[in-house]
A and B are shown apart, each in its own frame.
Chain A
Amino acid sequence: MIKVKNLSKKYGNVPAVKNISFNVKEGSIYGFLGPNGAGKSTTMNMICGCLAITDGTVTVNGHDIVDEAVEAKACIGYLPEIPPLYPDMTVFEYLEFVAMAKGLRGEALYDDLSYCMDKTGITDVADRLIKNLSKGFKQRVGIAQAIVGDPHVVILDEPTVGLDPLQILEIRNLIKELGEEHTVIISSHILQEIEAVCDRVIMISKGRIVADAALADLTKNETLEQAFVRLAGESIDAGVAYATEIREEKLSQKEARRGKVKIITESKKGAAYYEEIYVDEEPEEKK
């Protein structure tokens, strides 16, 4: 379905994604897992054609994302980390615009919109302005626009960020439902989320793939959390084999914007390790 080969991205001279390769097969829910600033969003943006590729290729359903961009993008529905919504439009107007841009017309367009709104549970708010919706509903509208046109692959970048626990559960259930009809890729750094909905896990750290396996295989001898700390930890040279707790702290607003976070891990022996990572791995968007 999606073939990523030797994909690289540099912001100026700073590498964000380093020569990664993986394949996404049809009919599974993939978890794209990695710490903040690992290169998840950059990779997603390149797969969806939002961001130019520095090196390598992405093929979607046999179409190259650069040479046959329109055909490739027609196979993908994408929800970026911040839902790309127009606040002054109603939900219906917004989805109608997306459907038209995806080439739907007439009866087929309205049938598809009806299906998508029903699937994401937003039919009741179809006539409301997007700016007046709650965060959970905005996220649902974002997911609805991703599935408009029945794309083969639905890519969701951190779909539950900022939601309350109830909304997170609702979105997870929705993702599971989507997985029955689409190939789904979810980007996240929340381990429970990946465990709850995904069949396979692609783990990325410091711009490199550190794991690409079925969730069951990855968690055969250890928990996902342990695997994450081991694989991501090896990558960042934290030296923590099995952590019992992992916390993440943003250092400051300015540093957070630069993708700088502090990961605090504590091992079973009680020793604490502090590591500031990815200072320059994912610079500001404007770079």
Chain B
Amino acid sequence: MLAIYKKELRSSLYGMTGPVFIFVVLAVIGFFTASYHFKAGYATFEISVADGAFWSLLFAPVLTMRSFTEERRMKTDQLLYSLPITTTQIVLGKYLALITVFAVPCVIMCAYPAIIAAFSTSAPNFALAYGAILAYFLLGCTVIAIGVFISSLFESLVICAIVNLAALIALYFARSAAGSFSDSPLFTLAVFIILSALCALVVYLAVKNYVIAGTVGGILNICAVIVYLINAELYTGLGADIIGTLFIFTPVTAFAYNVFDITAFIYYITAAALFVLFTVQSVEKRRWS
């Protein structure tokens, strides 16, 4: 894994994508910091992070799109698969290298609250500010995990970048539509059925067995229907809440409202781990097809 990590880190930092990505992140967060703190006079750094999160991570697809798509295009994936390393090590090596690149601007960003404190009349809340930076870093880890997963699905760099960008935009702007989802129990049931199907798909990718995947999906569906039939009231509003949790840009904003939200950390770590797992399965599946 160390070999893959070093190679990926080297190729990201020596090429154009890594430095440009670092520059974009610092420029966007720096722009919001300058606007809110030095022009408007706010002493709360977490607002800059929350508002700049989406815009600064829009460039992430350019960083992640090459990770597997390029290997496949150049036929170098055959080398990786023939080396005495596992698919998990390949995926983790690539993923950790990209995270390291993203960690560079995050570490630099850690100086911002101190700079604001030095020039501001009211001291910033350092716990909230560094909590926001950590949440932003973990959000970036999730976005990168999604990007790496998407790169494992496509053979064209352009399509990969477009799909990744579209996914990020959808995840960001769809949260404003979250309030328009129905509160009805039937809608919640429909959400559970879709989630059951997704669970079945994940199980199938993991074990490559239709029967087991179908059984898991079926049991989850039956449970959801039974609860609905017994007490439909339990489902009121739940569907909209569940969909709301899928919008990855929401948790980081909690820090802007003076809430030190530890659940945001858990949420991002879980989401990132899930997409890394999906990537491992996706790469494995290609070898089986």
Chain A interface residues (CB < 8 Å from chain B):
11-12, 45, 48-52, 69-71, 73-74, 76, 78, 80, 82, 84-89, 93, 97-98, 100-103, 145, 286-287
Contact = CB atoms under 8 A, between A and B. Distances in A.
B3 interface: yes
Contact of A101 (B10, B84, B155): B84
Contacts of A12: 289
Nearest to A157: B78
A101 B83 CA distance: 7
Given A52-B287, A52-B288, A70-B85, A97 B3 contact: yes
Interface of B: 2-4, 6-7, 10-11, 14-15, 74-79, 81-86, 155, 287-289
Contacts of A89: 7, 11
Nearest to A99: B3
A84 B74 contact: yes
Contact of B82 (A48, A71, A100): A48
A84 B76 contact: yes
Contact of B84 (A74, A80, A97): A74
A86 B15 CA distance: 13
Nearest to B284: A52
B3 A100 contact: yes
B6 A45 contact: no
Contacts of B14: 88
A7 to B, nearest CB: 15
Contacts of B85: 70, 101
Given A50-B287, A97-B6, A70 B86 contact: yes
B3 A82 contact: no
Nearest to A155: B82
A84 B78 contact: yes
Contacts of B2: 100
A31 B74 CA distance: 27
Nearest to A285: B75
A287 B287 CA distance: 10
A1 B180 CA distance: 65
Q: Is the interface of A mostly helix, strand, loop or mixed?
A: loop
Given A71-B84, A78-B82, A88-B11, A101 B287 contact: no
A88 B82 CA distance: 21
A11 B286 CA distance: 11
Nearest to A151: B84
Given A50-B287, A102-B83, A86 B11 contact: yes
Contacts of B11: 86, 88-89
6 contacts: A50-B78, A52-B288, A86-B7, A87-B74, A88-B11, A98-B3
A70 B288 contact: no
Nearest to B87: A69
A80 B3 contact: no
A76 B6 CA distance: 23
A98 B78 contact: no
A73 B15 contact: no
A172 B14 CA distance: 36
Contacts of B76: 84-86
Given A82-B75, A84-B75, A101 B4 contact: yes
Contacts of A76: 82
Nearest to B288: A52
B219 to A, nearest CB: 29
A102 B84 contact: yes
A286 B6 contact: no
A73 B3 contact: no
Nearest to A84: B79
A70 B74 contact: no
A142 to B, nearest CB: 9
A8 to B, nearest CB: 14
Nearest to B285: A52
A192 to B, nearest CB: 27
Contacts of A102: 83-84
B84 A98 contact: no
Contacts of B288: 52
Which 9 pairs across A and B sit closest by C-beta, in order of nearness?
A84-B79, A100-B3, A101-B3, A74-B84, A73-B84, A50-B81, A78-B82, A52-B288, A84-B76
Nearest to B10: A93
A49 B7 contact: no
Contacts of B287: 50-52
B78 A45 contact: yes
Contacts of A80: 75, 78-79, 82
Contacts of B3: 97-98, 100-101
Nearest to A101: B3
B84 to A, nearest CB: 4
Given A97-B7, A100-B2, A73 B83 contact: yes
